[in-house]
Every structure is written in structure tokens, then in C-alpha cells.
Amino acid sequence: MLSSQTSLAADATSTGADLYYRNQLDQGTFLIQRCASCERSIFYPRMICPHCGSDQLKWFAPTGRGTVYSTTVVRRKPEQGGDYNVALIDLEEGVRMMSRVEGVAPTDVTIGMPVQAQVADSDEGKLVVFNPTKA
Ligand SMILES: [Zn+2]
């Protein structure tokens, strides 16, 4: 019994980190975490550091500066909104996140392109997207 209670508690707390992230995002604030023990940055939000196992995780606002690690064009009919970009972005804090690059044609997004994070509205609520940075 004890072990099943323990795992339930762990599930509840990991949902807590996700919920906090979403609530902040809904207010227009993009936050990631940093481990106070090993000082590495963490994304996606969680309760336990994936690098060292510490639970001393602190929220902070990243600079939002990143570079495109990989990019894909997802084909979609024009009446469904047209093609869009899906990209993996490396933030300068050292975390990688799935997002999309806006402000340029989906096919013009290139690997290594410098980008800047921005909180945008979508059908599913606020989300973090990226725009190309002027060199
Ligand atoms: Zn750590």
C-alpha cells in the first residue's frame, strides 16, 4: 500500500510543475527551471532534476534567445491554415524544446538560425513560439 501511495504522490507533484508552468504561460510569462544543486537548466517542467536527482528546482525567466536545432515543414491544405513549421530550438540556457518558428515562410527556417522566444496565443491557449532574430 505504501508504495502505491508514494507513486500517486509523485504523479500529483509532477502535475504540479506542469500546472505552474501553464499558469505562468497563460499570464504571458515563459519560465524554465534550474537545479540549485547541479546548476543545470531543465525543460520540460518537472519536480526532480533529471541530471542529478535533486528536488531543489528554481523557476526563472530564460533570455528567450535560441538557435534552431532542427526544422520540419508540416504540409497542410490552405483551407486548413497552410503549411507550418515545427522546430527543435536550443535555448542558450542549454535546454531543447519543441516549438515553431513564425515570421518567415516555413521552408525558410534553417538549422542554426538565431531566434527569439515569444508567448503567443493559439487555439489551445498560450504557447511559446520563436521569431528569427535580426543578425
Ligand atoms: Zn541537478
- Cα(35) to ligand 1 centroid in Å equals 5
Residues 10 and 44 in one domain: yes
Q: How far is CA 32 from the centre of its chain?
A: 8
Share of the chain above pLDDT 70, in %: 88
Beta carbons of 95 and 41 less than 8 angstroms apart: yes
- Considering the domain architecture, whether residues 77 and 125 belong to the same structural domain is answered as yes
27 lies in the same domain as 52: yes
Question: 49-59 pLDDT, tens per residue?
Answer: 999 999 999 99
Distance 53 CA to ligand 1 centre (A): 6
Domain that holds residue 124: 65-132
Distance (Å) from CA 39 to ligand 1 centroid: 6
Whether this prediction's pTM lies above 0.95 is answered by no
Q: Using CA atoms, how far apart are residues 59 and 25, in angstroms rounded to an integer?
A: 13
Q: How far is the CA of 94 from the centre of ligand 1 (A)?
A: 13
Mean local confidence (pLDDT), 20-37? 96
- Least Cα distance to 65 among 126, 121, 120, 134 occurs for 134
The Å distance, Cα 42 to ligand 1 centre, comes to 9
